[in-house]
Amino acid sequence: MSFSTALTGLHGAQAEIAATSNNIANIGTTGFKRSTTEFGDIFSSSPSQSSKFTIGTGTLLKSVKQEFSQGNIATSGSTLDIAITGQGFFTLKPSLTSTQTIFSRSGSFTVNSDFYVVDSQSQNLQVYPVNSDGSIVATGIASAKSLQLPATSGAPKATESIDMVVNLPADAKVLNTPFHR
């Protein structure tokens, strides 16, 4: 009996080390959420036995849970890298015609040759459809569409005027420049 009790401890230690190893291996993975292990004590007794004389018969791995708490947000050089603050996931589809939905916390995106916003595995980022004024047309996963950027954003136009309000310190030096009024 004591050998099987010790063996449950070894299996528990192995599960704990495996979870820790996975956490260490993925420490640099964008959007990775660490795992924790939860254990329970195994008791073997009958109703006629006194609990003060009952010795446990080992440990049992009850669950391995991912912690979805907020991680650190780091800036990057890519304009399409985005992050989620708080709860939530990015919704992705493996292809334009796929019915499979994938959820991810990794916000590293690029644009493919057809101007769709995709992740590193070419999965399409899903967004709610909007009107021309930007208001959301429909919500829910079934109504989500693959985000496609326009091929062109229009002709560039020079800025003609700027309205600006600033508040300078009262003791600031007065500049005599063409812009001073």
Predicted pLDDT at 136: 93
Contact 139, 128 (CB under 8 A): yes
Q: What is the mean pLDDT of the chain?
A: 86
Residue 59 has pLDDT above 60, yes or no: yes
Please state the domain extents for the chain: 2-66, 90-146
For residue range 78-113, what is the model confidence (pLDDT) as tens digits?
889 998 888 888 999 999 999 999 999 888 999 999
Q: What is the DSSP letter of 116?
A: B
Local structure of 143: helix, strand or coil: helix
User: E strands within 82-138?
Assistant: 90-93, 102-104, 110-111, 117-118, 124-127
Q: For residues 147 and 132, what is the distance between their CA atoms, to the nearest angstrom? A: 15
- Enter the pTM of the model: 0.58
Over residues 155-173, the mean pLDDT reads 86
Residue 181: pLDDT above 60?
no
- Report the range out of 71-75, 134-138, 155-159 with the highest average pLDDT: 134-138
Q: Any idea of the CA torsion for 111, 112, 118, 121, to the nearest 10 degrees?
A: -130
Residue range 26-39, pLDDT digits in tens: 888 777 788 999 98
Task: Give the DSSP H or E segment for 15.
Answer: helix 2-25
Closest CA relative to residue 44, chosen from 16, 92, 15, 8 = 8
